[in-house]
């Protein structure tokens, strides 16, 4: 009898996990991300990336980056990444942590902007944690990159979005 109770519990657990997987409600391995690249004169590529956790209980890690990929030139004069982090839902709000060198501007109680400009570098990246309140239904990350590669190549802001925005 004890074996059948254990087997029943194991089957219920497996069924519950399968149901969560089917609904997309599994752990951090199920992240949300987006990435895009644009060709630049001279053969380099400009890449913008956004990533955040797929599910969370109290907090959600996030990352955004802007990259100059190639060697013509290998570094940009300036390269900027601007991330918009948003909590969605009725009365949704969030707090945001970020890298020390970046600036954080809260545009509203549910939307924050983190920005960092790097000089003579190939990358500007941001990361941190979002802590949405109880009424948040989901979060989203929008990553935008811009910069000045050299005297003849300036990149206007290009964006990607992870999660519905």
CATH architecture, domain defined by 31-162: Sandwich (2.60)
Two tokens at 120?
């003579």
Tens of pLDDT along the chain (165 residues)?
A: 334 444 443 343 334 333 433 333 433 446 899 999 999 999 999 999 999 998 888 999 999 999 999 999 999 999 999 999 999 999 999 999 999 999 999 999 999 999 999 999 999 999 999 999 999 999 999 999 999 999 999 999 999 999 865
Whether 92 contacts 110, CB under 8 Å: yes
Q: Rounded distance, CA 123 to CA 76, Å? A: 8
pLDDT computed for residue 80 by the predictor = 98
* Cα separation values, 142 from 35, 72, 83, Å: 11, 28, 6
- Of 102, 101, 125, 100, nearest to 113 by C-alpha is 102
Two tokens at 137?
């239904």
Q: Rounded distance, CA 6 to CA 33, Å? A: 39
Two tokens at 90?
């009725």
Residue 129, C-beta contacts closer than 8 angstroms, at least 6 positions apart: 59, 60, 61, 62, 96, 97
- Of 47, 50, 117, 125, nearest to 86 by C-alpha is 50
Whether 123 contacts 116, CB under 8 Å: no
Cα 126 to chain centroid distance, Å, stands at: 9
């Amino acid at each position: 009898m004890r074996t059948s109770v254990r087997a029943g519990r194991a089957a219920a657990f497996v069924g519950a996990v399968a149901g969560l997987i089917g609904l997309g409600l599994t752990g951090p391995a199920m992240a949300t991300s987006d990435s895009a690249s644009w060709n630049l004169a001279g053969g380099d590529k400009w890449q913008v990336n956004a990533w955040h956790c797929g599910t969370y209980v109290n907090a959600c890690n996030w990352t955004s980056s802007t990259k100059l990929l190639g060697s013509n030139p290998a570094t940009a004069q300036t390269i900027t990444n601007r991330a918009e982090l948003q909590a969605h839902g009725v009365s949704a709000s969030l707090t945001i942590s970020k890298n020390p060198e970046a600036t954080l501007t809260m545009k509203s109680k549910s939307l924050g902007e983190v920005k960092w400009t790097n000089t003579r570098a190939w990358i500007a990246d941001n990361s941190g944690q979002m802590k949405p309140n109880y009424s948040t239904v989901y979060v989203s990350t929008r990553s935008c990159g811009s910069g000045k590669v050299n005297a003849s190549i300036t990149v206007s802001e290009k964006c990607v979005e992870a999660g519905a925005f």
